[in-house]
Amino acid sequence: MTDGSDPSTNAGSRPENRRIEYVRERANWMRRRLLRMIVDAGQGHPGGDLSATDILAALYFDILRIDPANPRSPDRDRFVMSKGHCTGALYSALAGAGFFPEAELDTYLKPESRLNGHPNRTYLPGVETNTGPLGHGLPVAVGIAVAAQIDGADHHVFALTGDGELQEGSMWEAAMFAGHRGLGNLTVIVDRNRLQQGAGTENTNALEPLADKWRAFGWRVEGVDGHDPAALLAAFDAARAPRETPLCLIADTHKGQGVSFMRDQAGWHHGVPNAEQYAQAIRELEEEMAR
């Protein structure tokens, strides 16, 4: 699949096996597209982009109740990209979902482009809040969920956080308040790739026992394979069930997923593939799609 411009983001009418395959196809396209963006721009965050790709593909191409033609619809679901430096994945999802033309991805990180290194809601439709400095996105998502709770609105709020980001105190202040408010309309996904800039999370500032920490703050916690479309779709479908507590999905992922030489390598938090590496990455992804 070469064209990413498919505005049919909610695929609930598809047969289950087609839902799964469609998300897999979209994720593979996103990986190839974001790598091209990073190579063309000469900068980016490929490791974290690739670990989050399957999660974003499941959300934007199936789960989220959104309308690219009416991006500020009051009935829309809200998605907050708390790990805001991973814009290669976010922008490819937004373009693929139809929020702006795919051709605009070629302007990534270029002067006067709307596609900044960190997402900006005043520039791009589909971006709910500005993120980038870590620890900001989840507090905003909690505020959005509280507002919906007060209004009696039925939309759902999803937020994707990095695991290294959970070393920010603001994340746990927000988590504590969400548990206190019983925000059953809020789902947080932790991109648990166990690597952050320069080292492993457990070597930098240990997070485990991570699930117990969230439960202590009043959250329901479940694990999910963050690279399995079937598991992700099942978890997100279940997330919409009525409940009285916020939900934390700890997604088991790999930094650099889909590209052999990037996988589980902290050095690819930043980094730009050279021509030979880029060719190898695209070849691996094309072979994966052909299986």
Distance of alpha carbon 33 from alpha carbon 172, whole angstroms:
34
pLDDT of residue 6: 43
pLDDT of residue 55: 98
Peptide bond just before 209 cis, omega within 30 deg:
yes
Distance of alpha carbon 93 from alpha carbon 96, whole angstroms:
5
Q: Indicate the DSSP class of residue 103.
A: G
pLDDT of residue 189: 98
Report if pTM > 0.85. Answer: yes
List Cβ neighbours of 143 (8 Å cut-off, separation of 6 or more). Answer: none
Distance of alpha carbon 32 from alpha carbon 289, whole angstroms:
11
pLDDT of residue 4: 41
Q: Indicate the DSSP class of residue 61.
A: I
- Which sequence spans correspond to the domains of the chain? 16-290
Architecture per CATH, 16-290: 3-Layer(aba) Sandwich (3.40)
pLDDT of residue 49: 98
How far does Cα 210 stand from its chain's mean position?
Answer: 19
> CB neighbours (10 Å) of residue 120?
17
Distance of alpha carbon 141 from alpha carbon 173, whole angstroms:
13
pLDDT of residue 198: 86
pLDDT of residue 66: 98
Burial of 122 (0-12, 13-18, 19+ CB in 10 A): exposed
pLDDT in tens, the chain (291 residues): 333 434 344 545 578 889 999 999 999 999 999 999 999 999 999 999 999 999 999 999 999 999 999 999 999 999 999 999 999 999 999 999 999 999 999 999 999 999 999 999 999 999 999 998 899 999 999 999 999 999 999 999 999 999 999 999 999 999 999 999 999 999 999 999 999 988 999 999 999 999 999 999 999 999 999 999 999 999 999 999 999 999 999 999 999 999 999 999 999 999 999 999 999 999 999 999 998
Distance of alpha carbon 212 from alpha carbon 217, whole angstroms:
9
